[in-house]
Structure 1
Amino acid sequence: MLSVLRKSSEELPSGVANRITATRGSAERISVDDQSVDAIICLQAWHWVDPEQAINECDRVLKQNGMMGRAWHTWDRTSDWVQALAAIIEPDGTPADQTLSVPGEFVGRGTFERKEFPFNHELTLEQLVQLASSWSFVAQRADRNIVLAKIRGLGEKAESVHTGLVRFPHTTATFRFKQPARGVVG
């Protein structure tokens, strides 16, 4: 990801690119000075970190009244198409939506707000099947090939005659946390 950021930065106007500093680190070991960061953003990746260590690092590097943003792309389950997809791959029913409330490790750690932003992920039929094959809850199934064939069939029915793309409705669920003043727990 660091090399992608560096390459992408080359394409930005110099006034913007010069404000970007890329360093090696992790959520548990952020390589910046104490109280030196206005904001931290974590998209679709918090489940990969050690929450206790990561929170301690965020507390260390965030300036007083700093912000932390977290977001997840989730399926828009109000869509008939998504409901049909879910019926194929979730035989035990819909899993609990973990984006509906403040993640447990953040309860009592300041103020937060939650917002949702709808969007349509548009994919070719092959991209849809490839994406579905990468989902662990599909990849680990004994009937994986049957499930992928059903997803392909669903995608064929949903494919736009104008663009050849499948519209996969999503919602981005976001949280914005504001760290309280030092020594104050909100």
Structure 2
Amino acid sequence: MTAPTRSTRARSFNAAAAQYAANRPSYPPALLDAVEDLAGRPLRGARVADVGAGTGIATGLLRARGAEVVAVEPGAGMAAEFRRAHPGVPLVRGDGDRLPLASASVDLLTYAQAWHWTDPARSIPEALRVLRPGGALALWWNMAALDVPWIAEAGTRQARHFGLDVEAEKKRGTHAAAADPEGLLDFARRSVRWSRRVPLDMYLANLGSHSVFLTDTPQRTSAYLTEERGHLLRSFPDGVVEETYDVDLLVARAAA
């Protein structure tokens, strides 16, 4: 099977938007505390653009903190799911490489699980264009906590099944370099650990909403998830999985 392109993987979420919305993890309050700290301003009253907003998981949290949020989302399926969940939030179609936003129009740009779908050579100049003086760019990712033994074992099984580099999948500290390969921004970094307890079916549905599964064949994906259920029932015989995440947060401020 030919490896899917990055564009194909990025578009794959549109057909699984409802699955994504129902099963993907959210983010802890401590993450938004860290965003405020590193951005140097409260979210309340801030003009925020949540780019690659998807189904609106981060958008909802930002609004709950009192931010004035506009969402930017390129995918039709994800945008439709967003509108069902957040009918009162402005949503514009677009992506981080060509932001459909006016120059110097926002205090904060956020990318929750989305910056890796951009081309930094384009998305960084776009971010600097739309940020107001002293504004901030915040990027974050929920990362599986690989120091938890069962999570490390599951990650190794997944990497082997899909022909990924097992050791590369275990590496940390790569987001900062990949986010800004030219070193144009001065990113501050925080890691925020949190966990959630979910039914096994929800855990597996979350896995299945990732692009590596969505772009594989239904047969291979189904076979993996069936086998993984057996592995996990040995660790969680009550059928409730405790997931642990480290949110990798990068924040850079624009010149005042």
Q: 1:121 to 1:99 in 2, by over 3 A?
A: farther
In the TM superposition, residue 137 of structure 1 has moved relative to its aligned partner by 4.3
The residue that corresponds to 2:146 in the other structure is 77
Q: Does 1:110 align with 2:179?
A: no
Q: Does 1:93 align with 2:166?
A: yes
Q: 1:101 to 1:29 in 2, by over 3 A?
A: closer
- Secondary structure of the structure 2 residue equivalent to 1:102: helix
Partner AA of 1:46 in structure 2: W
TM-score of the superposed pair, with normalisation by structure 1: 0.74
The residue that corresponds to 2:49 in the other structure is none
Choose from 139, 155, 177 the match for 2:232.
Answer: 155
Q: Return 5+ residue gaps in structure 2 as ranges.
A: 1-77
How far, CA to CA, are the matches of 1:54 and 1:5 in structure 2? 23
Which protein is richer in helix relative to its size?
2
The residue that corresponds to 1:140 in the other structure is 216
Would the aligned equivalents of 1:29 and 1:57 in 2 still touch at CA under 8 Å?
A: yes
In the TM superposition, residue 152 of structure 1 has moved relative to its aligned partner by 0.4
In the TM superposition, residue 34 of structure 1 has moved relative to its aligned partner by 1.2
Would the aligned equivalents of 2:94 and 2:100 in 1 still touch at CA under 8 Å?
A: yes
Q: 1:125 to 1:74 in 2, by over 3 A?
A: same
The residue that corresponds to 1:49 in the other structure is 118
After TM superposition, list the pairs within 5 Å mapping 1:29-40 onto structure 2.
Answer: 29-40=98-109
How far, CA to CA, are the matches of 2:97 and 2:227 in structure 1? 40
The residue that corresponds to 1:175 in the other structure is 250
In the TM superposition, residue 130 of structure 1 has moved relative to its aligned partner by 2.5
Partner AA of 1:155 in structure 2: L
The residue that corresponds to 1:125 in the other structure is 200
Partner AA of 2:93 in structure 1: R
How far, CA to CA, are the matches of 1:60 and 1:5 in structure 2? 26
State the aligned residue count. Answer: 171
Would the aligned equivalents of 1:28 and 1:50 in 2 still touch at CA under 8 Å?
A: yes
How far, CA to CA, are the matches of 1:154 and 1:125 in structure 2? 11
Q: Which string of whole-angstrom CA distances, capped at 9 and with x for unpartnered residues, describes residues 96-151 of structure 1?
A: 53644523452532322111111224332222223333444456388655532331
Would the aligned equivalents of 2:116 and 2:179 in 1 still touch at CA under 8 Å?
A: no
In the TM superposition, residue 82 of structure 1 has moved relative to its aligned partner by 0.6
In the TM superposition, residue 36 of structure 1 has moved relative to its aligned partner by 1.5
- Secondary structure of the structure 2 residue equivalent to 1:53: helix
Q: 1:36 to 1:110 in 2, by over 3 A?
A: same
Q: Which string of whole-angstrom CA distances, capped at 9 and with x for unpartnered residues, describes residues 49-73 of structure 1?
A: 2322222211111112220000011
Indicate the structure whose relative CO is greater, using CA pairs within 8 Å and at least 6 residues apart.
1
- Secondary structure of the structure 2 residue equivalent to 1:123: strand
- RMSD over aligned Cα atoms: 2.9
Partner AA of 2:236 in structure 1: E
Q: Return 5+ residue gaps in structure 1 as ranges.
A: 11-16, 182-186
